[in-house]
Amino acid sequence: MTGRPLWQWSATDIAAATRSGAVSCREAAASAVERMRTVNPRLNAVTLDLGDTAIAAADAHDARRLRGDPTGPLFGVPITIKDNVEVRGQRTPNGVAGLAHIIARDDAPIVRHLLDAGAVIVGRTNTPEFSMRATTNNVLYGLTLNPWDARISCGGSSGGAAAAVAAGICAIGHGNDVAGSIRFPAMHCGVAGLKPTSPVHAPLMSIQGPLARCIADIGLGLAVMQPADASRPGPTFAAAPGGHAIGLIAEIPGMPIAPSVAQALRDATAALEGAGYVVEPVDVPDIVHSGEMALRFLMTELEHLVVPIARRLGSEQINWYFDSWVNGMPPFRTREGFLEAVEARAAILSRWERVLETHPVILLPQRADPLLEVDEDLRSTEHLRHVLKGYAPSATVNLLGLPSVFVPTGLGDGLPTGVQIIAGPHREDLCLAAAAAIEARVGTLVEQLWRRA
């Protein structure tokens, strides 16, 4: 990393340098803060600048290291926290103006994990209202731009985090995912992102995960963000051997694959085969149907927990969005209908489990369509239905509770492309190993973005 500014360093390299004393935590924080204050006025990825407190925290870390105190795995690593989880003493607006006055009394568990690991929070990142849109835009803080192209959405709902990671504001961005909210922004901004295994009892619960510029940093962040406890196995990250078969989903009935997405799948396949994997087509349940089922489950919860609040505090845009969603993919409104869907989900999961027995890793699109433009999901009710249908490859993974990583594969027409990799429950190690094999061949994308700038 010699000769490169610290804001360009990976989290893995920063942590190694700060723990050894080769670089101070203050130097790492100051570089990130300077970068944030240079690029964020245009991008609007960060809604709350915590640069001054970040440098103070970094100074405290340096003093602890000099005293010989223990240092954590993210010691001195600049990170951001999404605007929808609590950080002590700060507001948690979740993109909603009517929630901006509420101050958190304590840190959310995910924030405490990161701080205990030595991470330094440089800012809070933008999210759409109620974290429920494909474009990160709201009436409270406005639009977050995609660092690659202002016409293209930065994704949602962790769009601020993805834009911040791509622009060099932080080495790891905190995000969460209920239907693709980590992986969609990663896809749009040309970075990596991972949705961990979801709880068996609540597969569609929002799950916390990292966004980063390289796969090694995803593994580093995930080990901190999803630590093991006595009630469940923790994720493992040992490199998997390249000899087992990877299942390929290159065609999705009822969902045409865009040329850029097809090329990304071919590039990923070539990289995996070059690393010694066998990649072969597999037959899985109807992804369009399972994706729609996932979004109907989600809207069933939203109708009871979020929509009533949106009626009081949300903008006209988000209320139109929820109304249009209900018209296109309605919630389950009867007990019988809900239970039938639960039974159908179990049957779908059983079929996927049989596929994963023979092909422990699956390669598929994150989205079949090209990248979305800014506010494309607000064009019309009919177009929103098309956008929601496009969530199917992503939302299916949430329906099943499986881990999934998005990894970039290159550029198509100057914009990021990439693929999604999934594996069985708690086999994040298999996802990351396959993603690392792709990255080893195609490289990371952000250096090309920085050269443009």
Average pLDDT over all residues of the chain:
95
Catalytic residue among 10, 24, 31, 82: 82
Q: What is the pLDDT of residues 287-296, one digit of tens each?
A: 999 999 999 9
Q: 435: closest CA among 447, 446, 423?
A: 423
Q: Provide the residue ranges of all domains of the chain, joining segments of one domain with +.
A: 6-225
What is the chain's length?
453
Residue of 10, 31, 131, 157 marked catalytic: 157
> Closest Cα to residue 368, out of 419, 326, 411, 322?
419
Q: What is the Cα–Cα distance from 244 to 256, expressed in whole angstroms?
A: 29
**What does residue 121 show for φ and ψ, rounded to 5 degrees?**
-85, 120
pLDDT digits (tens, 9 = 90+) for 96-144: 999 999 999 999 999 999 999 999 999 999 999 999 999 999 999 999 9
Model confidence at 229, in pLDDT bands (50, 70, 90)? Answer: low
What percent of the chain shows pLDDT beyond 90? 92
Q: Report how far residue 289's alpha carbon sits from residue 347's, in angstroms, rounded to the nearest whole number.
A: 13
Tell me what percent of the residues of the chain surpass a pLDDT of 70.
Answer: 96
pLDDT tens digit string along 183-210? 999 999 999 999 999 987 777 789 999 9
pLDDT category at 230 given cuts 50, 70, 90 is very low
The pTM for the full model equals 0.96
Query: Given 10, 24, 158, 181, which residue is catalytic?
Result: 181
Q: Extract the tokens encoding 20.
A: 């050894």
Q: Is 157 a catalytic residue?
A: yes
Domain 6-225 coded CATH 3.90.1300.10: yes
Let me know if 198 is a catalytic residue.
Answer: no
158 a catalytic residue: no
Residues 234-283 have pLDDT tens digits of 555 444 445 569 999 999 999 999 999 999 999 999 999 999 999 999 99
